[in-house]
């Protein structure tokens, strides 16, 4: 759920880990969330380093490289 995704993002922001959260954006399902993240970064609400932890990909084939595999 989004609750868990944001929990993991917050834990990374606090330095508890360095893992990304990857959203597989099939059929542009997560496009509104991506736009929100981008807007929050542009408004200075989210640091670029934290913004980079939320990754959006368009295919499952792109998942393994995001996880360092």
* DSSP character at residue 46: S
> Could you tell me the pTM of the whole model?
0.81
pLDDT of residue 66: 79
Instruction: Identify the segments of the chain with pLDDT beneath 50.
Output: none
pLDDT of residue 36: 94
DSSP string, 7-27: HHHHHHHTTS----EEEE-GG
pLDDT of residue 69: 58
SS3 42: helix
> What distance in Å separates the CA atoms of residue 57 and residue 66, rounded to the nearest whole number?
9
pLDDT of residue 68: 72
């Amino acid at each position: 759920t989004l609750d868990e995704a944001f929990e993991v993002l917050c834990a990374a922001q606090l330095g508890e880990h360095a893992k990304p959260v990857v959203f597989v954006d099939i059929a542009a399902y997560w496009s509104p969330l991506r736009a929100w993240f981008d807007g929050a970064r542009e408004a200075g609400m989210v640091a670029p380093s934290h913004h980079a932890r939320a990754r959006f990909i368009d295919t499952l084939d792109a998942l393994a490289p995001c996880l360092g595999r």
